[in-house]
Chains A and B, each alone.
Chain A
Amino acid sequence: MTDLIRSTAAELAAKIASREVSAVEVAQAHLDRIAEVDGAVNAFLHVDTEGALKAARKVDDDIAAGAHVGPLAGVPIALKDVLTTEGVPTTVGSKILEGWIPPYDATVTRRLKEAGVVVLGKTNMDEFAMGSSTENSAYGPTRNPWDLDRIPGGSGGGSAAALAAFEAPLSIGTDTGGSIRQPGAVTGTVGVKPTYGGVSRYGLVAFSSSLDQAGPCARTVLDAALLHEVIAGYDPMDSTSINAPVPPVVAAAREGANGDLSGVRVGVVTQFSGEGYQAGVLRSFEAAVAQLKQLGAEIVEVSCPSFDYALPAYYLIAPSEASSNLARFDAMRYGIRVGDDGTRSAEEVMSLTREAGFGPEVKRRIMIGTYALSSGYYDAYYGSAQKVRTLISRDFDAAFATVDVLVSPTTPTTAFPIGERTGDPMAMYKADLCTIPANLAGNAAMSVPSGLSDEDGLPVGLQIMAPALQDHRMYRVAAAYEVARDAALGATVISGVPQLAGAR
């Protein structure tokens, strides 16, 4: 059993396809693991035992019947609770959607089901994906399997923690300002934000439409690539999805695993170091860059001066769009309804429901966004932020004219203690300092573990960024680096996760 939960998705898929193990056994092993450890981790908001076993049985039947199945058929997955799942609760980590059972599947959900991937359940997250620690969940924080007193990152802390706790070999996250990559970094897992438009947003409960992007989370680069190809591709239901072939990320990951990066030009973003960066994080990053050089990559320093304005621009654009996207939660058609006692007007019930249903961070952002869009302030705030966005895109364009990929630390620090930053929004926001530019420009970016920080023994992430629709470039570099890193460490990073209480 331990073997099954510690296996990679690629290994599990091969064993299931060759009927060495059944998909039902694999699903059951993970359901058992969840039952054992999730009381301590709180990665899951909802476990769909029945649905998972039914889906697994179907895969087993198909294989027994000799049907052709996809490359991840029978492999279990955990879905961030921001993706709709027909018949299975979806809360987005918010009280306001408590009890809502969506009548439809998100495109990502549908594609996973069609590929025979077995959905175990829905993972915890910061409410409406607003946060960097999963402490903003209305259903209690998720804990980092590396140290249960620390945060697992956010907003997709549940999806990252589920991987690090061996509750699932794969998960789906969404990344608006770093919500896939930063949790990946602080849990020692791989997290990918594909090119904006690369994966359909249909059925992804919107936080900030122009920034949100769903992507794969896994414990290895190859697993992330395999999952990427299952969920990616044009979707007519999402007007912003790109009608172009999916970048060949699996082939790139396999090519990278050969360990040769000669001819690849890697740019180190000079803006992402110095004050506010933990020394151990910077040392881990420097070691990673040195390893890339050893693999044959050419290393150059690249300056992207507009990146300094990314954080403030993000905190105008994302709340502005959120203030409008979250307006639909009005107690009329779904979710909770407060104060409807027959004496109050619809407006009063709406107001009471939103007061009770939204948490403080969500309210803060709705207010910031409402203010930034209001007449007389629009040009100064939303308008200026959009100009910054253009400048950031230009910095990326200039950089990618000379290098193939850019690298930086994923986040300035390792996992911080639960509660440390809850009273200081600015400190919390700085966790996304390095990840936000790629959201604003819409290009691809990922985080791959770069070992542990030498001062606290906690995971550090290496961020690799690639131009739009060149996602395969970063997969190649990440896969090569992963092999070299494990060789140098003599083990995988994830194997260092401590035994969890309650686990056998």
Chain B
Amino acid sequence: MTSVHELMDYAEVIERFDPVLGLEVHVELHTNTKMFCGCANVFGGEPNTQVCPVCLGMPGALPAVNGTAVESAIRIGLALNCEIAEWCRFARKNYFYPDMPKNFQTSQYDEPIAFNGFLDVTLDDGSLFRVEIERAHMEEDTGKSLHVGGSDGRIHGAEHSLLDYNRAGVPLIEIVTKMIPGTGERAPEVARAYVTALRDLLKALDVSDVRMDQGSLRCDANVSLSPKTTGELGTRTETKNVNSLRSVERAVRFEMTRQAAVLANGGSVTQETRHFDESTGSTSPGRKKETAEDYRYFPEPDLVPIAPSREWVEELRGTLPELPWERRKRVQEEWSLTDAELRDLVNAGAVDLVAATVEAGATPAEARSWWVAYLTKEANARGVELAELGITPAQIARVVGLVNAGELTNKLAREVVTGVLEGEGEPEAVIEARGLKVVSDDSALEKAVDEALAAQPDVAAKIRDGKVAAAGAIVGAVMKATKGQADAKRVRELIIARCS
């Protein structure tokens, strides 16, 4: 089903409405085991191989809380500047769905483990925007339904469905923002920047793989419009299936232009769940429910309350790593970066990589030049994240070292790096296999120089007359003859020696 949307021009949307955002992010923790049982918590795997009576919801099976997941939840809460509950419970969220083994989700309801926090988000121009956090709570993931025979993998039109419970019971933290007003035209950017900041934070905490493509970080974007004339809050929609940072921005922008057109035509926005389509960049309504869902929450009687002692909370606060924004401030000072340089570095997602390269022996300038300039281009060309490019900071540092030692020219160095990216092994192996050593044998060079001088006698004469600048042409010829493997500086020295 494709529906044609009438959309309002974005500038007009901003002129007439104030957008209000709300973002719900689900994070899968990468604990060794699931939330309530001992099954392995690993992405992928043959369907229904990481299951047991507990996560299959077998009759009689009971949950037992994963202590590491609670610890991660508290650390996330602390990093988000939240208060940590002194006493809280799990609750059952009751609804029927085949991929949910117990037909209730063990979650938290009115007693989340963390609440009332904020996250300062850096926008593209370097300015900060504070997003208030309502709560972060613990819950379990559902299994996965695979709808077979339909056109687009959705349940509509499917002939049958397959169920995989490997993901059932994987620990999730749901992080919910308060309403985010006051973003104006930057609403889509704020949404993306918030999810980016959250992703970096969770990565620094080492609690999740935060892979949006694998679903370990999932974002639902709530959007509503408030007409500037009345200032009244609008009806919100909740857009799901937003699977990349770019999609977050696109989905918010699309909903703003769609809702504005609906309102401008005298219609009203329907409160509903919508589905983001990556290929068209548009949203469409989810499955219609005839009645409002009543989840009949009540405290989970199979689990005892969680009461983290203040000592434990403080102990966990002590385990918080340097948080991304603190780190950024520090590297800016240490590496003497301008705001613009820092922004390029951050936008390239290269702070950690540059830092690790510096740690491995390169200077900040050398490391930045590789990661931000050269490798970012390579990553974009290959459509992968910088960190997944297939070259390590240590390898870059070694290549830099070889250049400084005069064993590689910059041009050769790039070729070595390309070889590593193509999977040809360590830099040293690439040099060996491709024969990329600088030609440092003077007798071989002298022969090439003599040949070049003989081929261009008029240039040779000029040099002998003291016009040293003319040597450039001979250097070029020698470099060409040696396929770029000579050290240009040494070649120049030899030419001048020969002509004096």
Residues of A with Cβ closer than 8 Å to B? 83-84, 90, 92, 97, 100, 102-104, 106, 201-206, 208-210, 236-240, 320-321, 323-324, 327-330, 332-334, 346-347, 350, 370, 373-375, 378, 382
Contacts and interface: CB of A to CB of B under 8 A. Distances in A.
Contacts of B298: 320-321, 324, 373, 378, 382
A492 to B, nearest CB: 35
Nearest to B95: A327
Interface centre among B57, B59, B96, B301 (most CB of A within 10 A): B59
A203 B98 contact: no
A297 to B, nearest CB: 36
B96 A205 contact: no
Nearest to A96: B59
A100 B58 CA distance: 11
B169 to A, nearest CB: 13
B47 to A, nearest CB: 13
A254 B196 CA distance: 69
B296 A324 contact: yes
Nearest to A202: B62
B63 interface: yes
Given A239-B64, A321-B301, A373 B296 contact: yes
A101 B421 CA distance: 54
A177 B296 CA distance: 23
B290 to A, nearest CB: 12
B101 interface: yes
Interface of B is mostly: loop
Nearest to A321: B301
Nearest to B63: A239
Given A240-B302, A327-B103, A328-B103, A374 B60 contact: no
B416 to A, nearest CB: 55
Contacts of A90: 59-60
Interface in B50-104: 53, 56-65, 92, 94, 96, 98, 101-104
A327 B61 CA distance: 14
B163 interface: yes
A239 B65 contact: yes
A149 to B, nearest CB: 33
Contact of A102 (B58, B65, B94): B58
B192 to A, nearest CB: 35
B303 interface: yes
B58 A103 contact: yes
Q: How large is the interface on B (under 10, 10 to 19, 20 to 34, 35 or more residues)?
A: 20 to 34
B96 A330 contact: yes
B116 interface: no
A99 to B, nearest CB: 13
A333 to B, nearest CB: 6
B304 interface: yes
Contacts of B296: 323-324, 370, 373-375, 378
A333 B62 contact: no
Nearest to A238: B62
Given A330-B96, A332-B101, A346-B98, 8 more contacts: A84-B60, A103-B58, A202-B62, A205-B60, A206-B59, A327-B102, A373-B298, A382-B298
A180 to B, nearest CB: 18
Contacts of B302: 206, 209, 239-240
A148 to B, nearest CB: 31
B57 A333 contact: yes
Nearest to A92: B59
B94 A373 contact: yes
B294 A334 contact: no
A106 B60 CA distance: 7
Contacts of A374: 294, 296
Given A333-B57, A382-B298, A324 B104 contact: yes
B161 interface: yes
A122 to B, nearest CB: 13
A385 to B, nearest CB: 11
Nearest to B165: A333
Contacts of B98: 330, 332, 346, 350
Contacts of A204: 60
B162 to A, nearest CB: 11
A324 B94 contact: yes
6 contacts: A84-B59, A102-B53, A239-B63, A321-B301, A330-B98, A374-B296
Contacts of B56: 333
B148 to A, nearest CB: 13
A346 B103 contact: no
A239 B303 contact: yes
B59 A237 contact: no
